[in-house]
Structure 1
Amino acid sequence: MSIPIEHPYDFDPTYGLGLAELRAIRPPQAPPHFDNFWRERYVGALGVNPQPQLGESRLSHPDWHVHDIAYTSTDGFRIGGWLLLPREGTVRRGLVVGHGYGGRDQPDFDIPVKETAVLFPCFRGLSRSSRPPISSDPAWHVLNDIDKPESYILGGCVEDLWVAISVLIKLYPQLDGRIGYSGISFGGGIGALALPFDQRIDRGHLIVPTFGNMPVWLSLPTTGSAHSVQNYRKTHGDVLNTLGLFDAATAATRIQVPMLLAVARFDPVVAPPCQFSVANALPTSNDHETVILDAGHFDYPGCEEQHALLTEKVRRFFRAT
């Protein structure tokens, strides 16, 4: 296995950093009111009656009963998605799965879990949760209310995740304390922000998470959502005052449940130093594992083998015991 050498980008998606240098990166210090900011939002999300509605989906699968689902999140925002229920066995665990910034058009049927109710919400403004005037284009979505910390779109997406946990518990009360979270890229960053403050989530899996180490996120060339915020910063120099509250690496220092991280050494969309900042921030006293991929958001030789090994780890990590 080795990181890609040939690529079409006009910058180096390794940023010239070796593995030792990536492992040495640490998260920025939290703003003084970081914890209170998120605790207050969490209390507000807990007070929401999600009013979940289930319907039969046009999708079908031999292993899963597929349901369309919608629920009400904070600010009265209606969230759409899918709920998968196993055709065999009983529901013994719950799992919420977050998507990347491209959204999603269907659930992941190959998710390696059994006896699990799996909820795939679409975060506000994206895919089944799109609503004008919020743009579903990542370059604009990431800027929505960025000048207003209390209403910045990323905070609403974190609340959508917390309310998704409430939905599973409302539908299956026996799952309280037996619900995990898995998120990739955008969903990985949202998960890192949500996990420290919701004791109902018992473990988390983040794949190439974004929004880690915002000062670095704003400084490195990229094709991802950071590029849009970097352009915005040219005329709004104080944007880091908002982004400091939404730093996934800062939040990760507060995660107290077992974690399975997958981070990449080469990634043109989410800079590896930002991903490693999240992984490195996890408290060393807890049961965490970090899997290092050669690349993220990019096809490469050995990709299938690495992801097959990761899938097996995920299977064991979320085993319904």
Structure 2
Amino acid sequence: MPLFDLPLEELRGYLPDRDEPADFDAFWSATLAEAREFDLAAEYVPYDLPYANVDVFDVSFTGWGGHRINGWFLLPRGAQGPLPCVMHYIGYGGGRGFPHDHLLWPSAGYAVFVMETRGHGGANNGRPGATGDPHGSANPQAPGMMTRGILDPSDYYYRRVFTDAVRAVDAAAAHPAVDASRIVVGGASQGGGIAQATAALHPAVRAALVDVPFLTHFRRAVEITASDPYQELVRFLSTRRDTAEQAFRTLSYFDGLNFAARGRVPALYSVALMDDICPPSTVFGAYNHWQGPKEITVWPWNNHEGGGGYQSEEQVRYLHKLFGES
């Protein structure tokens, strides 16, 4: 994919207007209060694997609507005292996969809490899932998750997902092995978008690792990329021509630009300049609105894979520096 978005010099200063509903904060406050009426009931079941240096737990907890959400919780074996914990949110279509997919952070001395995204994990990407989405959508939808409930913010799919992500932080913070003052949210693509939202919604979050984030600057994304998942929105609107205003109003409650404007904690972003799935201007739009201390790693020659393992190394160094660890 060639360069197709704004030049890097313009991207660094790109600060788009935000379409923010007047009741944005009230909407999320009420949503989270409603979710917390359900008992969190977090369960950590030891998972039998012959790992010498890592303890693995099969996790479940109560998310939006009282629904059970699955995940993994991994700890470096023999670690002393409460540990910083990285919340890992997963990319579009992927499930929680296998424990060996998540060994980076325990090997660096951190706990990691992997939250599965409800309804995902059936895509052909090798990472199976175990969590459904019991809530049905009131409106017709295009295949995929992007238009599920899109005509009503209270019914939209990502209201449930973002709420699950906040509840996952609640679960991690209550675990005795976790230092609740050092919880980090992170993920790539959809996971990056979820992390970006959760950092704004949960006051216990200490830092954010936001890689090539999805779910950000929706209107520009659908105007300049021909790739999925944003094209799910285009296919829906090309059929339901009468619903565009209503759909974009719903999306404004979930747009990463609006969450980024509420981001106060340190954040490490990444962007790939040839990314036609999450275009660079959508990433820089959020990054430039982020209000806390921030850094961004630019990968000029990469598509949506971004920095891959190189970015993972950047993240480990970033958190070690942030937490003053050797």
TM-score bin, normalised by smaller chain: 0.7 to 0.9
User: C-alpha distance in 2, partners of 1:304/1:221?
Assistant: 22
Greater Cα shift, 40-49 or 89-98: 40-49
Are 2:146 and 1:146 aligned? no
Summarize the Cα distance change of 1:177–1:42 in structure 2 as closer, same or farther, 3 Å threshold: farther
Summarize the Cα distance change of 1:183–1:128 in structure 2 as closer, same or farther, 3 Å threshold: same
Are 2:8 and 1:19 aligned? yes
Partner of 1:270: 278
Which runs of structure 2 are paired with 1:77-226 in the superposition (5 Å)?
A: 77-90=67-80, 91-104=82-95, 105-107=97-99, 108-111=102-105, 114-126=108-120, 127-131=129-133, 139-172=143-176, 175-226=179-230
Are 2:252 and 1:252 aligned? no
Deviation at 1:232, TM superposition (A): 1.0
Summarize the Cα distance change of 1:133–1:15 in structure 2 as closer, same or farther, 3 Å threshold: same
Deviations along 1:241-274, one digit per CA (max 9) or x if unpaired, are: 1111111012101111111111111112211111
Between the aligned residues of both structures, percent identity stands at: 23
- Contact 2:75–2:106 (CA under 8 A) maintained in structure 1: no
Which runs of structure 2 are paired with 1:288-303 in the superposition (5 Å)?
A: 288-294=294-300, 295-298=302-305
Deviation at 1:41, TM superposition (A): 1.9
Deviations along 1:67-125, one digit per CA (max 9) or x if unpaired, are: 11111112011101100011132232222110100323124212376443211010221
- Contact 1:93–1:175 (CA under 8 A) maintained in structure 2: yes
- Contact 1:192–1:249 (CA under 8 A) maintained in structure 2: no
The code of the aligned residue for 1:199 comes to P
Partner of 2:28: 38
Greater Cα shift, 308-317 or 44-53: 308-317
Summarize the Cα distance change of 1:123–1:16 in structure 2 as closer, same or farther, 3 Å threshold: closer
User: C-alpha distance in 1, partners of 2:182/2:312?
Assistant: 25
Determine helix, strand or coil for the equivalent of 2:159.
helix
Unaligned 5+ residue runs, structure 2? Answer: 121-128
User: C-alpha distance in 2, partners of 1:270/1:210?
Assistant: 6
Determine helix, strand or coil for the equivalent of 1:246.
coil
User: C-alpha distance in 1, partners of 2:179/2:160?
Assistant: 24
Summarize the Cα distance change of 1:305–1:166 in structure 2 as closer, same or farther, 3 Å threshold: closer
- Contact 1:222–1:271 (CA under 8 A) maintained in structure 2: no
The code of the aligned residue for 2:250 comes to T
- Contact 2:105–2:112 (CA under 8 A) maintained in structure 1: no
The code of the aligned residue for 2:98 comes to Q
Deviations along 1:140-183, one digit per CA (max 9) or x if unpaired, are: 22221111201211111111111111111222286232211111
Determine helix, strand or coil for the equivalent of 2:144.
helix
The code of the aligned residue for 1:293 comes to W
User: C-alpha distance in 2, partners of 1:150/1:133?
Assistant: 12
- Contact 2:208–2:266 (CA under 8 A) maintained in structure 1: yes
Deviation at 1:128, TM superposition (A): 2.0
Are 2:45 and 1:55 aligned? yes
TM-score (norm 1): 0.85
Partner of 1:3: none
Summarize the Cα distance change of 1:62–1:230 in structure 2 as closer, same or farther, 3 Å threshold: farther
Greater Cα shift, 176-185 or 240-249: 176-185
- Contact 1:98–1:183 (CA under 8 A) maintained in structure 2: yes
User: C-alpha distance in 2, partners of 1:47/1:320?
Assistant: 37
Deviations along 1:210-261, one digit per CA (max 9) or x if unpaired, are: 1111220221223221110111122132211111111101210111111111
User: C-alpha distance in 1, partners of 2:155/2:177?
Assistant: 31
Summarize the Cα distance change of 1:57–1:17 in structure 2 as closer, same or farther, 3 Å threshold: same
